[in-house]
Structure formats: C-alpha cells, structure tokens
Amino acid sequence: MVANAVDVERVGTFMLNCECVHGKKIIWRRFQRRLQVHSAICVQQLQASALCLCFFLSFLSLLSAPTTMVVKLLQHEHGKGRVRMLKVTRTPEKHSVIQLEAEVLLEGAPAASAYYDGDNGQVLPTDSVKNTVWVLAKKHEFASLEDFGVILAKHFVTKHPDIINMAKVKLFETPWERIVVPDSKGKTRPHHHAFVSASPGFSTAYVVARKSAYGAPEVMVQGGVDGLKVLKTTQSSFVDFFRDEYTTLPDVPDRLVSTCVTSTWNYTPDAIGGDFVSKTAEIKNVLFETFAGPADVGVPSPAVQYTLYKMGEAVLERCPYVKDIKITMPNIHNNPIDLSRFGCKNIHPHGEVFLPTDEPHGIISATMVRSASKL
C-alpha cells in the first residue's frame, strides 16, 4: 500500500518525538503498531469502497440487461373438428341413417410438455381423435347425438386416464327423414331405404366427461336445436319502446315476425341414458306451440323478448328433465316494398309484398331456469 504525503508527515513526526524520550527498540515497536493500525483502517476503507462499486456495477447491469418474462399456460386443449360421418344401420324391416359432424377437444395436464418443451410424448394426435370417432360409430349402436356424445366423451377419459382429464364433444346433425310414397300394394307409408333432407332445423349435442377419483367419469349432457326458421304474419307488435336522439324506428302495432331459433338445454342427471330422441322432439313441439299459439287464433306477441321467455317457461314447466334452457332468436326483418309508384295500392296498411333481409339483424337471447320459490 502506498501512503500519501499526510501519512508520511504523521509517521515522521511520531518517530521524531519518540527519539527524544525513548530507546530505539521501543520507538520501532510503537512505530510498527501505529503503522499496522493505520494500514488496517486504509484496507477497510478500500474494501468498503470496492463493495459499493460492486453494488453499483450490479445495479447498472440489471438496468441494461433484457427483462426475462415467465409465461405459463392458463388453459390448453387439442382435438379434431369438422369430423363428418354418415352411418347406415340395415335391418330387414328398414334402413336407418344418421349423419353428423363432430368436434372433440381433449384436456390433460401432461400435454403441457408439448407447449413448453416440444415434447409430444403425452399428446394423443388429433388424427387419432378423428379415427376414434369413426371406429366408435362402427362399434356402437346409438339413436341420438347425445347417446353418441356420451360414448365418445367417456371413451377418451377412461381409455387414457393418465394423459386426459376431460373430453368435450360437440355434435351437429344433418337430418334425413323417410320419403312417404305408396308401396307396391298401393298403401302410402314411409320408404324402406329412401330419404329426403329433413326440416326444420337440426339437432345439436354437447357432452363433457371429466375423470373422477371415484371410478366412473362425471358426465354432463346438453341437447339443442339450431336453424328452426319460424314466421308469423300477424299478432306481433313492438310499440312504446325507449327512444333517444338516434332512434328512427316507428311504433309497429302489427308486423311480420321472423326468426331462426337456436336453443340449448342442460339435462338433469337422472335424464342421462334415457330416450333423447323423444325428449328433443317434445321440446321442439313445445317451442313451436308456444311461438304460434292455438292454430285458429294464435297468440299475441308484444316483443320477441316476451315470446322467447314464454317459450323457455313452457319448456321448463312441461319437461321436468330439462335443468335450464337458453334460447337465441335473431329478429330477421321483412321490409314492406312500396309499390304505389306502379299504381298498386296496399290493401294492408303494413304491406303485402316484403323484402326479406338477414343483415343487420337484432339479436335477442336469454337463459331461463326454475326459480327456487314461486314468484
């Protein structure tokens, strides 16, 4: 260590004073002790300064280093969609067909390795999911989408419990119905093996199976219908609604009402395994009856919202196997065409010739459930 001028001066003065009053050995020993103490103090000061410098340089390196972000998976699933299939069941009495489109999504914690590390060892290929749909359709007999959905969902969580915790199956039907024609003896009846595209609408199903610690998987079944196009030419109105500065719609005391009903409902647990075909048919009939009213007099509809609620209410009252129901009814407009410039006089104040439009259209939707107490 190199001492500065002040240090040298202090040491020299100390030695001079010591020479005047002490012997040489005593002077030398005291000088050594004084020098050791002074050196230790200087070393401590240098160490403290070096430590502060290290902290400062570390702080600068943190400021200049790129930020490291940790990203984790919040949820993940994989599967196959748009898997189409038509199954023919042949018996001597008749042939039956069911055509559907499937979407199967699988969830399982082990598959996270494919996202984090690119390790596919715990991932069932989506192509295998597609093949499973076809193979199980071949091996099993089923009469409804719900039945087949339960078969599919249960298969994945029971066949591969180590890598699959949950299977979610959506099914969409392409309906066919038998052509009704005279038979070889002249009697009119449904054909043995000829079909025509059925209407209105088509059935849907959504089945979820979760792996359970108690053995059999937990299963939730949801039925549904889509594409039910319905129309009323009278007894529909929309008046006395809220208005702001951008409202141009006039009161309409009588109008055409047209919509395309989409509805889904959750079955109660004790309904699973029953006759889903007849249950779906019953629910559709309730929806139609409530929308239309009695065949000869109909039923007034002050708003699509009111009719929608009454339809859901009727299903919950008449179908105890339904836990809750959601109905969506877009308001598809039919605008009257003014033909007065062609010399045509409108007989009805709201017109006889209309222009159907599908966009933009209103969207009305609600989910209904039984109340715990009477209102």
As a whole number, the mean pLDDT across the chain is 87
* pLDDT value of position 40: 62
Residue 100, pLDDT above cutoff 90: yes
If pLDDT is split at 50, 70 and 90, which confidence band does 199 have?
Answer: confident
Tell me, yes or no, if 67 is annotated catalytic: no
- Rounded (5°) CA angle 325-329-331: 165
Tell me the per-residue pLDDT of 115-127, one tens digit each, with 9 for 90 and over.
Answer: 999 999 999 999 9
| Domains defined along the chain, listed by start | 5-61 (no CATH), 73-216 (3.10.270.10), 228-375 (3.10.270.10)
Contact yes or no for 356/258 (Cβ under 8 A): yes
Residue 8, pLDDT above cutoff 80: no
The rounded radius of gyration (Å) of the Cα atoms in the chain is 41
Tell me the per-residue pLDDT of 270-321, one tens digit each, with 9 for 90 and over.
Answer: 999 889 999 999 999 999 999 999 999 999 999 999 999 999 999 999 999 9
Residue 96, pLDDT above cutoff 70: yes
Tell me, yes or no, if 211 is annotated catalytic: no
Mean pLDDT of the 85-106 span: 96
Which DSSP category does 109 fall into? Answer: G
Tell me, yes or no, if 233 is annotated catalytic: no
pTM greater than the 0.75 cutoff: yes
Higher pLDDT, 296 or 57: 296
Residue 141, pLDDT above cutoff 90: yes
Active-site position among 80, 155, 170, 232: 80
Active-site position among 130, 155, 168, 333: 333
b (16+ CB within 10 A) / e for 240-262: eeeeeeeeeeeeeeebbbbbbbb
Tell me the per-residue pLDDT of 201-252, one tens digit each, with 9 for 90 and over.
Answer: 999 999 999 998 878 899 999 999 999 999 999 999 999 999 999 999 999 9
Active-site position among 95, 126, 234, 310: 126
